[in-house]
Amino acid sequence: MQPRRQEVQLLQLAAEAEGEEEEGQAHARGARRRRQRQQVRRGLLHLEGQAEEEEEEVSEEGGEGGVTDALLRHNASFAGDFDQRHLDVAPSLHLAVVACMDSRLDVFAVLGLNNGEAHVLRNAGGVITDDMVRSLSISQRRLGTREIILIHHTDCGMQKVTDDGFREELREATGMAPSFAIESFTDVDANVRQSIERLRTSPFIPHRDHIRGFVYDVDTGELREVEPA
């Protein structure tokens, strides 16, 4: 029986040693994970600090170049890591988006788009003007787009001016009346419908079966579809 007891004791000691080894390994893994998390946190803090410095650099940039000189420095960094040479001139989703120029509306983020997937055309109000029809006709006839999405938004600046008032403001400032239409509006949904109708009736837009309009809520980030007239 003595050898048997010794064998059992040895097995117990081996199990305890293995357990201690596993515990030590787990402790080591935990320590490594803690160090990695600390490194990540330090890295994030460093990046945040860089971002804040860059924002301050852009916002405080003065002199003759204005913010443009600071932005050109950012471009130099962008070009150094450029990896988009593979993109084709034609949008891969065969999509054109017409949107307001409002700086709160990030079309790529709102729709989850990547570079090379869509044409994004913008103007004050996101309205369909003669020049927008020109761009869309080229987009469809030469570069293969088939669908059009229109995006207006809440709290639009074009709802806060009038055609006559702004035209007069320009005339007083320059001595000339503008030849272009101001295209202000009061009802954003009605203006989306008008833009859809202008596209659907334009002889220069060959693909008119997939045209949809939306209003982007600047307070929630949501898109609300507007049914056409």
Cα distance between residue 106 and residue 149, in whole Å:
14
pLDDT of residue 60: 55
pLDDT of residue 9: 61
pLDDT of residue 127: 98
Q: What is the mean pLDDT of each run of 10 residues along the chain (229 residues)?
A: 56 61 56 56 56 58 76 96 96 99 99 99 99 99 99 98 98 97 98 98 98 99 97
Cα distance between residue 193 and residue 201, in whole Å:
12
pLDDT of residue 90: 98
As given in the structure block, the two tokens for residue 219 are: 């307070």
Q: Residue 119: which of 155, 158, 87 has the closest Cα?
A: 87
| Predicted TM-score (pTM) of this structure | 0.73
pLDDT of residue 66: 85
Cβ-proximal residues to 92 (8 Å cutoff; 6+ apart), any chain: 116, 117
CA angle (87, 88, 92) in 5-degree steps: 95
Cβ-proximal residues to 96 (8 Å cutoff; 6+ apart), any chain: 118, 119, 120, 121, 136, 139, 140, 145, 147, 148, 149
